[in-house]
Structure 1
């Protein structure tokens, strides 16, 4: 059964992991699709935003005039290619803040609700000639291209929009050596527009919030259902094991008196036995003893199964030291099978406590009897009583002890520590359960400390009020 449960748990965990993997894959794909849709939506919103905006056109003309003047200087031999547009940053700084303000206002008018940064970059300038073109400026990658105008941001995380190629035929007059001259040239400019969205991840996640919440809810629901299913399965197995152990223990406890009763009944049927009154009397006494034992077993199952809510206490004010000594004395008188040394230690401050003497005596005797049952050879028991802030009764033995695993269940109904299939120690697993219920009925607590082979300490704490 245990192997089947382990297989089921392993299969459930693997299934949950597979479900988690599939869900993560689907969420990741949805995230990518939402991201692409968001980027495309932004592209459409700002695509060619600068068309038909006069003030932006005048800014482009300023940049164009600078490029034309640099080309004229180049053609006149006053400027070398490596220095082409090397001081362009000065011109950009003069006009850039107004350009950024203009395009941000335009984006707002176009309904772009999220913050977008925009820039235009120069890729190449080529002088066109029927014989041979002359490349004045060329950068093969977007990282190397020149930032013409717009916000400054990491170009590697940017998205491209327009790749614009413009051809211009220009004729300009200039003065050289006191003479006015005219220069004609045709050039081609290639630019690329880029944009970057601050916090686009949050925007995409916001759009996915519905599916994310639903996915998390479904995953949590499956996890909780799996947890409770496995927990209930294990609980049912424990209950089944407890029932089996109880039936085995009860069967074992009933076998001896029943066998004795059967044998005694057969003896009474024999004619020769009937003629011997002494043997008949002894046999009848044996029947009475075994009948009483059977009745005790039944009463133990019925009475010791009560929960603390069902226990009706009849509390009375008792003298702590006198009461505990009486219980210990009665216990010592009832134990004749083993040599027992009982050490008593009292630290009494509050002399009186209210409790039900009948039930509390039962609780203490259950612990004391267990100390005898689970001790090998001579039995040593220490009983320590303290009544400072509450009544604390500690009963310590030096027996076989309880394992850490069993300590967690030692107060459970029908549970017996150790190997439940070995019946060297008689019992039904009800004594400590009933003791715990009695202490709870007094609004108290019971704790256990134990190490295997070192003994056990049970401590009962009963409040004064």
Structure 2
């Protein structure tokens, strides 16, 4: 009841702390993601700056007095200069005819510029000239063509979107028509140069074009440069997650320990109250003048007091023995294991009810084992007690077998009790732990913990197998030594 009240009080705090931890973790991840993104954008803008300047200078030098590429100016004059008069007439007298002719000239110009482009060979020459090691790609885009009849105002012949939704046989990329190149995208980060040529004289052209150059795997190259930043960021997040994890796990352990201590206090209160109550009742009865003269009644009551006092002493000793047990402070003597087991079983059978059968089979003989007799006896008694306490069979069976297995001397104790689930087995040897079951049994949750401590004190190990509804088997492995058996 007390534990349930405590859990109800703690539940809102647990939810609050967990929510705060999750929110803080989410904020940290968002901040780290923002920082990484900003770092990527910064490196993206600064990437290949030296190569851009070199390519820009070489390209401008190569197309001096040219447009787009060597030979590009001639193609432009062929399509625009010869049509200047017609453009002027249509622009003045027939806007619809002007738009149709504008589209026609733009498409024809696009065909010739792409057909006769020398940009690919020019770019290879620049690449060789500058001894660039990167595998670079380029895009050459014509952004704008306009004409002026008076040297002041310009009339567009082509720019992206000039034809509206009308179909046009021109491949457009970025902000204009694609003249040459195989770069998959154009943006400000890979823009090398944007050139605009004009002459403020009547009947002249205004031409704007752009060159874009980039590595084909730019994003991967940038991410490689960011490996230290990414690693540190991920490590910091992982480190914080680990701190959260271990903190939460330790908190769960502490909570579990607190729960077990609470269970222990509840159990020990019950276990101590039972014999104390019996002693008090017996003592009160002995104060009755009618009973004090009855030898039989007095003998019965003193027997009750003796048994309950012994039980209290056993409970106290069990709790104290747990705290002082270790490999270093136990005294061992050599014992014939088979004979000792027979004595222990015979003594235990004296206090068991008739509906309990203990079978002992020894497949070994003359096994001399160094052990602490008291600890060994108490350990077996605890296992036997467990086998009977958690058993609802009509005839309760315990089978004890000694044998050799894996070069170890083994003592197997098997019962036909209620068995244990895997979740119970993983905790059954913990201090104060008591499994969840329907049987109303007493105890402090120290019996099997005592077994574990005894095994560790002797340097032995235990293998436990259990099946619900079938029973459990405790198998103790005692290390083999030639002087144990005389072999």
> TM-score, normalised to structure 2's length?
0.74
1:86-97 matched pairs, under 5 angstroms:
86-89=114-117, 91-97=118-124
Partner of 2:396: 379
Q: Distance in 1 between matches of 2:293 and 2:154?
A: 143
Report Cα offsets for 1:365-392 as digits up to 9, x if no partner.
Answer: 2212221222223212232332132122
Indicate whether 1:85 and 2:113 are aligned: yes
Which of the residues 359, 362, 369 maps onto 1:354?
369
Listed one character per residue, the Cα deviations across residues 159-196 of structure 1 (whole Å, up to 9, x for unaligned) are 435432113699xxxxxxxxxxxxx9743321113233
- Which position in structure 2 is the counterpart of 1:2? 7
Name the CA shift for 1:186/1:370 in 2 (closer, same or farther; >3 Å): same
1:22 aligns with 2:33: no
**Could you tell me which residue of structure 1 aligns to residue 198 of structure 2?**
167
From 305, 314, 331, the counterpart of 1:287: 305
SS of residue matched to 1:155: coil
Whether 1:100 and 2:127 are equivalent positions in the alignment is yes
Q: Give the corresponding residue for 1:457.
A: 473
The answer for the alignment partner of 1:154 in structure 2 is 184
Q: Distance in 1 between matches of 2:256 and 2:154?
A: 90
Q: Output aligned runs, 1:306-317, within 5 Å.
A: 306-309=324-327, 311-316=329-334
Matches within 5 A, 1:14-93: 14-41=19-46, 57-61=61-65, 66-71=71-76, 73-74=78-79, 81=109, 83-89=111-117, 91-93=118-120
What is aligned with 1:173?
Answer: none
Aligned equivalent of 1:244: 262
Residue 126 of structure 1 and its aligned partner are, at CA, apart by 4.9
**TM-superposed deviation, 1:363:** 1.6
Asked if structure 2 preserves the Cα contact closer than 8 Å seen for 1:305 and 1:434, the reply is no
Q: Displacement of 1:428 after TM fit?
A: 2.1
What are the within-5 Å matches in structure 2 for residues 220-239 of structure 1? Answer: 220-239=238-257
Aligned residue for 1:438, secondary structure, equals helix
Distance 2:71 2:453 in 1: 96
Question: 2:460·2:477 contact (CA, 8 Å) conserved in 1?
Answer: yes
1:62-461 pair list within 5 angstroms: 66-71=71-76, 73-74=78-79, 81=109, 83-89=111-117, 91-102=118-129, 119-126=139-146, 129=149, 141-142=172-173, 145-147=177-179, 152-156=182-186, 159-160=190-191, 162-167=193-198, 186-196=204-214, 198-200=217-219, 203=222, 206=225, 209=228, 215-216=233-234, 219-277=237-295, 279-309=297-327, 311-316=329-334, 318=336, 320-335=337-352, 337-348=353-364, 352-356=367-371, 358=373, 359-376=375-392, 377-388=394-405, 389-418=407-436, 424-461=440-477
Aligned partners of 1:169 and 1:185 also within 8 Å? no
Query: How far 1:314 sits from its partner (Å)?
Result: 0.6
Report the 3-state secondary structure (helix = DSSP H, G, I; strand = E; otherwise coil) of the residue aligned with 2:127. Answer: helix
Q: Matched residues in 2 for 1:8 and 1:215: separation?
A: 31
State the distance in 2 between where 1:263 and 1:127 align: 121
What is the distance in 1 between the residues matched to 2:76 and 2:310?
122
1:84 is paired with a residue of what secondary structure?
A: helix
TM-score (norm 1): 0.77
CA offsets per residue over residues 115-165 of structure 1, 9 Å max, x none? 8765543334456545998988765543562345xx742124664354321
User: In 2, Cα distance between the equivalents of 1:51 and 1:255?
Assistant: 95
Q: Which runs of 5+ in 1 are unaligned?
A: 109-113, 171-183
- Kindly report the root-mean-square deviation, in angstroms, between the aligned alpha carbons of the 2 structures: 4.0
1-structure distance, mates of 2:314, 2:38: 75
Q: Secondary structure of 1:188's partner?
A: strand
Deviates more, 1:425-434 or 1:13-22: 13-22
Give unmatched runs, 5+ long, in structure 2: 1-5, 84-104, 162-171, 482-487
Separation (CA, whole Å) in 2 of partners of 1:324 and 1:40:
83
Q: 269-278 or 243-252, which moves further after superposition?
A: 269-278
Structure 1 residue 364 displacement after superposition: 1.8
Aligned length: 434
Cα 1:43–1:441, aligned 2, differ >3 Å: closer, same or farther?
A: closer
In structure 2, what is the Cα distance between the partners aligned to 1:455 and 1:134?
Answer: 98
Secondary structure of 1:145's partner? strand
Structure 2 partner of 1:181: none
Confirm or deny: 8 A CA contact 1:84 1:136 kept in the other structure. Answer: no
CA separation in 2, counterparts of 1:202 and 1:46? 15
Q: 1:52 to 1:281 in 2, by over 3 A?
A: closer
